[in-house]
Amino acid sequence: MQKGTLFLVPVPLAENATQKSFTPFLIDTINSLKTYIVENEKTARKFLKEAGITTPQSELLIHDYGKHKRGNSLVPFFKELMSGTDVGLMSEAGCPGVADPGAEIVAEAHKRGIKVVPLVGPNSMLQALMASGLSGQSFAFHGYLPIDKAERAKQIKELESLSVKNKQTQLFMETPFRNNHLLDDILKNCQSNTQLCIACNINGQDEFIKTLPVGMWRSERLDLHKKPTVFLLYKA
């Protein structure tokens, strides 16, 4: 029996970013699918409605891959794919599988010989890098830095050293309610001439993307509390 295809469906990064987020092919694909694996069912249904899905939502089969379901068997998520039905995978925001638990679903799809098709859409890391003016020839994404203050300070210094050594832009992020603490630690631990880009609420109505030397950031007043933000460091 022929297996289904797993489509990786990007989701808007911010409120009211619908028009910036969808391609005609993505909308066509959404309207061809009736089964989804999602990180958050409520977010997913809202996204599908914004995207202009024509299938009644009552007819959709949605597998919730939320944090309370992880660690369980992946078999139930693959029943439809293994029997020939195409399925969409959605994150809570941005691209599935990138800094996202959906990577586990994608890995399992490859093990099962299922075709994986990534669709075009918003990605906060790449969009931040594009807009930063920092090196796009060599870059590394480190996800979340340690919560412990001493460990976090140590890693920030290590990332600054890595940037110099490899001529490489270093990208990382934080849980939005801890953004201000992370920014304080960057300003305390980096050298004044290190370039720092702060890319906040990408695609949102109050989108803010700015690159300055750390020394200049120290005189700026910025409140990033509860705003999705990507931080980029580069030291020549």
> Taking the domains of the chain in order of start, what are their residue ranges?
5-118, 124-234
Is the per-residue pLDDT at 19 higher than 90? no
Is the per-residue pLDDT at 56 higher than 80? yes
Name the superfamily (CATH) of residues 124-234: Tetrapyrrole methylase, C-terminal domain (3.30.950.10)
Length of the chain: 236
- Is-contact 68 123, C-beta < 8 A? no
Q: In what order do the strands lie in the sheet with 229-234?
A: 139-144, 169-173, 229-234, 195-200, 208-213
pLDDT score at 98:
87
**Same fold: 5-118 with 124-234:** no
pLDDT band at 68 (very low <50, low <70, confident <90, very high): low
Q: What is the rounded CA–CA span in Å between residue 7 and residue 4?
A: 10
pLDDT score at 69:
63
Whether the model clears a pTM of 0.95, i.e. scores above it, the answer is no
pLDDT band at 126 (very low <50, low <70, confident <90, very high): very high
Topology of domain 5-118 in CATH is Cobalt-precorrin-4 Transmethylase; domain 1 (3.40.1010)
pLDDT band at 16 (very low <50, low <70, confident <90, very high): confident
